[in-house]
Amino acid sequence: MQPLEVTLNFAEFPPEHTCRGGDASPRVRVAGVLPNIKSLAIVATSSPEEGESKAAWVIWNVEPAETVPAGIPKTAEVTAPVRAVQGRNDFGTVGYRGPCPKSGETEAYLFRVYALDIDLHLLPGAGWEDLVRALEGSVNQTGEVVALSTG
């Protein structure tokens, strides 16, 4: 399987992508997408210093492109700036939820991108577990990147 090269334009979250700023989803660059890919899915998980990882962003049926733009609206069905469907994160909301570490703590976010040979037939607002089950057998490529946020 040829890996995807996934990058953000930061290693440490700027405020606009955290709960202390605009809480806007970051731009995600994806290089090396094969020609047969029909859609991308992204799952971002938080890994606080203490506690369990939580799904912070669940999005699928993203048009395959080199860039998933920043600022995806927090709606289940997205028509602009790209077409996509979003699920419910583990914080109880639809769309992206940025890091929010306590003062003096660090939180890492892992952005994992899946390149699929199909569009997924999942209801808007589905959870990350539903997405993972739906991905089975259709993942052609994956890639990931990690960024940190300090409170």
Query: In terms of residues, how long is the chain?
Result: 151
E strand spans, the chain: 5-7, 28-31, 39-48, 54-62, 67-68, 77-78, 84-86, 106-116, 139-150
Residue 88 near residue 64 (C-beta atoms within 8 A) = no
Q: Tell whether the torsion through CA atoms of 59, 61, 63 and 64 is positive or negative.
A: positive
Q: What is the pLDDT of residue 49?
A: 61
Sign of the C-alpha dihedral computed for residues 6, 9, 10 and 14 taken in this order = negative
CATH number assigned to the domain comprising residue 44: 3.90.280.10
Location of structure tokens 């998933």: 68
User: How much is the pLDDT for 53?
Assistant: 85
Residue 42 amino acid letter: I
**Closest to 87 (Cα-Cα) out of 53, 49, 120:** 120
Determine the pLDDT at residue 50: 62
Residue-range definition of the domain harbouring residue 121: 5-150
pLDDT tens per residue across all 151 residues of the chain: 799 999 999 999 999 999 999 999 999 999 999 999 999 999 999 986 666 789 999 999 999 999 999 999 999 999 999 999 999 999 999 999 999 998 998 999 999 999 999 999 999 999 999 999 999 999 999 999 999 999 8
Number of domains, the chain: 1
